[in-house]
Amino acid sequence: MALSTPPVRGHARGAILDAADALFYRDGIRSTSIDAVADEAGVTKRTLYHHFESKDDLVAAYLERRDEPTRVAFAAQAAAAADGPAARILAVFDVLARFFATSDCRGCAFLNAASECASDSRVRRTAIAHKDATEAWFREQLAAAGSREPEAYAAMLMLVLDGALARSLLYPGGRQVRAAREAATIIVREAGVAIPRVA
Amino acid sequence: MALSTPPVRGHARGAILDAADALFYRDGIRSTSIDAVADEAGVTKRTLYHHFESKDDLVAAYLERRDEPTRVAFAAQAAAAADGPAARILAVFDVLARFFATSDCRGCAFLNAASECASDSRVRRTAIAHKDATEAWFREQLAAAGSREPEAYAAMLMLVLDGALARSLLYPGGRQVRAAREAATIIVREAGVAIPRVA
């Protein structure tokens, strides 16, 4: 028993998080019940509550688990698509275009959660940490590209990125992301960074 | 009865909409029950359902009622604060700063509703109409200011505006709105519009 329990537990926890991730993102947090998550994960509610004290706890775990992989995937895809920091910044918007084109895209999990659970300070904190880390990445790329005031321009790039993410819930992604890429180009150029031509 | 019913009905309808407006905006749509709205309005659930067939119906009415007054108030305040179309565009961000500084600010009712009720096509349509009308206002100001490609630059201004609105749920508004104003200034200048000095 002592030997078999940990892996089973581990498996249940992962299955619950996978189910929560799929349902919270697709249907929203408030409209997804704990019962629906347990069902989807193939566990009892009792097992779910063994792993997560409350729905708030599960929501926070859902967001925390999305934070790093989302940022790493974006940064890696941008790096693969572009040479040098300035091109990498703009490539983020190409990655975004591909993301918007996926049929199950529902915009940004963190902005959506913040909008649904505004009074939940843990949700807010997790979303802020995600956005701060994304902004830090922009700042680093800007600084590496020789930008003046990388902090100020990174803040502007975040507005454009989050504007595109928020608006993707309303409009098909194509036009938004082209406008976002153009706005980002203007901002990067204004920061004193030369944008290399695509070879 | 026939004579007294209409005004009473009108009063109930207005009270229900006022209650829905306050609660949907403050607490979110999904976490506000029809019972809570009826309670707040001081009407029975039966009366509420007499005026609104369903919660979806009430949500749509809530958004439709916010559309024009929100836009008119922003445009009027921006016009009062600034002379000329270019200054008016930037003054929108000063109006936004005051809005963010109000204690009951919960960002944009339309973006929040879209994020909460993504699968509701009527909510989406109402939010799109609101955003389209706002974008048209930017486009008109840009055109009046002699902008090149007012359509393209209005789309970029919307990204910055909606980025600031979405991010206001995470961050205190001050920094967001300063970055948004600066980004808008860069975009307007790039559009070939001279920005008048503040007298």
Per-residue pLDDT for chain A (199 aa), expressed as one digit of tens each?
444 444 455 689 999 999 999 999 999 998 899 999 999 999 999 999 999 999 999 999 999 999 999 999 999 999 998 889 999 999 999 999 999 999 899 999 999 999 988 778 899 999 999 999 999 999 999 999 999 999 999 999 999 999 999 999 999 778 899 999 999 999 999 999 988 775 4
Q: Which residues of B touch A155 (CB under 8 A)?
A: 175-176, 179
Q: From chain B, pick out residues whose CB is under 8 angstroms from the CB of A164.
A: 159, 163
Q: How confident is the model at residue B174 (pLDDT cuts 50, 70, 90)?
A: confident
In CATH, A1-52 is 1.10.10.60: yes
pLDDT at B8: 53
- Under an 8 A CB cutoff, do A159 and B156 touch? no
User: How many CB atoms neighbour CB B37 within 10 A?
Assistant: 26
* Contact of A178 with A121, CB cutoff 8 Å: no
Do B113 and B124 touch, CB atoms closer than 8 A? Answer: no
Mutation target to probe the B interface, by most B beta carbons within 10 A, among A92, A115, A130, A160 is A115
pLDDT tens digits, one per residue of A71-121: 999 999 999 988 899 999 999 999 999 999 998 999 999 999 999 887 788
Residue of A nearest to B183 (CA): A156
> Would you state the pLDDT for residue B117?
86
Tell me what pLDDT residue A8 has: 53
Task: Inform me whether the C-beta atom of residue B170 falls under 8 Å from chain A C-beta atoms.
Answer: yes
Structurally, what CATH architecture does the domain formed by A63-190 represent?
Answer: Orthogonal Bundle (1.10)
For chain B positions 59-98, those within 8 Å of chain A (CB to CB) are none
Which residue did the predictor score with more confidence, B2 or B52? Answer: B52
B194: alpha, beta or left? (left if phi > 0; alpha if psi -120 to 50): beta
Q: Which of B4-8, B59-63, B115-119 has the lowest mean pLDDT?
A: B4-8
Give the mean pLDDT of B147-175.
95
Q: What is the pLDDT of residue B9?
A: 53
Of A180, A93, A97, give the one whose Cα is nearest residue B157.
A180
Average pLDDT over residues B156-180: 94
Rounded CA separation B121/B124 (Å): 5
> Which tokens belong to A79?
């790096």
Buried b (16+ CB within 10 A) or exposed e, A57-72: ebbbbbbebbbeebee
Nearest residue on chain B to A110, judged by CA atoms? B170
**Domain limits of chain A?**
1-52, 63-190
Q: Specify the residue for token string 């100020």.
A: A152
Buried b (16+ CB within 10 A) or exposed e, A116-125: bbbebeebbe
Say whether A158 and B167 touch across the interface (CB within 8 A).
yes
Among B124, B167, B182, select the one facing A170 at the smallest CB separation. Answer: B124
Q: How far is A77 from chain B (nearest CA, A)?
A: 23
Q: Does B156 touch chain A (CB under 8 A)?
A: yes
pLDDT at B4: 40
The angle that helices B34-41 and B5-27 make with each other, rounded to 10 degrees, is 120
Query: In chain B, which residues have their Cβ closer than 8 Å to the Cβ of A183?
Result: 156, 159-160, 183, 187
Cα separation, B199 vs B196, whole angstroms: 9
Measured between CB atoms, does A8 come within 8 Å of chain B? no
Spatial contact of A48 and A37, defined as CB atoms under 8 Å apart: yes
Q: What separation, in Å, do the N-terminal and C-terminal C-alpha atoms of chain A show?
A: 61
Instruction: Give the Cα separation of A68 and A66 in Å (integer).
Output: 6
Task: Collect all residues with Cβ–Cβ distance below 8 Å to B146 and sequence separation of at least 6.
Answer: B192, B193
What is the crossing angle of helices A109-116 and A55-81, to 10°? 150
Query: Which of B79, B78, B29, B88 lies closest to B57, judged by CA?
Result: B29
Asked if A169 and B111 come within 8 Å (Cβ–Cβ), the reply is yes
Any A CB within 8 A of B127 CB: yes
Q: Share the mean pLDDT of chain B.
A: 91
pLDDT for B3 = 45
Contact B162 A161 (CB under 8 A): no
- pLDDT per residue as tens digits for the range B114-156: 998 877 889 999 999 999 999 999 999 999 999 999 999 999 9
Distance, CA of A119 to CA of A39 (rounded, Å): 27
B124 min Cα distance to partner chain A (Å): 6
| DSSP 8-state code for residue B172 | -
Amino acid at B41: A
Nearest CA in chain A to B124: A170
Asked if B124 and A167 come within 8 Å (Cβ–Cβ), the reply is no
Which of A127, A152, A190 lies nearest to residue B170, judging by beta carbons?
A127
pLDDT of residue A175: 87
B186 touches chain A (CB under 8 A): yes
Q: Residues of chain B with pLDDT > 70: what percent?
A: 93
pLDDT top residue among A6 and B188: B188
CATH fold for the domain made of B64-190: Tetracycline Repressor; domain 2 (1.10.357)
Nearest to B179 among A111, A156, A167 (CB): A156
- The answer to whether residues A157 and A187 touch, using CB atoms and an 8 Å cutoff, is yes
φ, ψ at B25 (rounded to 5°): -70, -45
Q: Mind giving me the DSSP string for B95-145?
A: HHHHHHHSTT--S-HHHHHHHH-TT-HHHHHHHHHHHHHHHHHHHHHHHHT
Q: pLDDT by residue (tens digit) across B67-78?
A: 999 999 999 999
